[in-house]
Amino acid sequence: MKLLVAGHGATQWAMVDPRPGSEVDTEFLTENMLRFQIPLEAIDPFKYGEARSFSAAVGEGFDVYQRGTVPAIATVTVTGSLPGGYELLLGGRLVTVERAVTSGSPHVVDMRTGILRVGGAVDRGGIVYSELFKIAPGMPQNFYSVARTPGTGTVKVAFNDTYI
């Protein structure tokens, strides 16, 4: 389940589960008021904040940034018509995709796993070179996408501010 914390600065959230074998602690303060405590466990050590996305035409560079405290993992979506594939570059790290992008079948590259999805289906073998990258906190970083052959497309980089 998603635990959302708001009201004390930036709204943040984390994925949690009830702690196995634990019980809910309840205390009736009045007839109409109950205080309760639910022990939770967060397998993922990170908290997440504001969702961010940046986009531009393939071939145009743009800046990406996040306001968290640890590097954020992005999802990159490429749409359009790029018959020879494309390259993604951030901070000296390169991801090369040779699979063609066709209209109606967007490519989604998950930078956590390195999995390429084409039109929603996992495509094994479309990524031929992969140095997965993360979005560092703080100052903006330059993101570039390049078409490997003539074509047109749009690239979108999406992630959440990430905290520890």
Same domain, 61 and 35: no
Same domain, 60 and 117: yes
The domain containing residue 142 runs over which residues?
Answer: 50-163
- In order along its 164 residues, the chain shows pLDDT tens digits of 888 877 777 788 888 888 888 888 889 999 899 998 888 888 888 889 999 999 999 999 999 999 999 999 999 999 999 999 999 999 899 999 999 999 999 999 999 999 999 999 999 888 899 899 999 999 999 999 999 999 999 999 999 999 98
Same domain, 99 and 153: yes
Q: What is the pLDDT of residues 1-12, one digit of tens each?
A: 888 877 777 788
Q: Quick one: 122 exposed, middle or buried, by C-beta within 10 A (0-12, 13-18, 19+)?
A: exposed
Same domain, 6 and 56: no
CA terminus-to-terminus distance, the chain: 18
CB half-sphere exposure, 56, CA atoms < 13 A: 14
How many domains, in total, are found in the chain? 2
Same domain, 31 and 110: no
- The structure's pTM equals 0.80
Same domain, 32 and 79: no
Q: Which two tokens stand for residue 3?
A: 């635990």
Same domain, 130 and 67: yes
135 bridge partner residues:
72
Tell me how far the alpha carbon of residue 89 is from its chain's centroid: 16
CATH of the domain at 116: 2.60.120.860
Same domain, 102 and 126: yes
Q: What is the pLDDT of residues 43-76, one digit of tens each?
A: 888 889 999 999 999 999 999 999 999 999 999 9
pLDDT of 2: 82
**Any idea which residue has 């914390």 for tokens?**
5
Task: Kindly list the distances between the CA atom of residue 83 and the CA atoms of 76, 98, 151, 153, in Å, as whole numbers in the listed order.
Answer: 18, 9, 7, 10
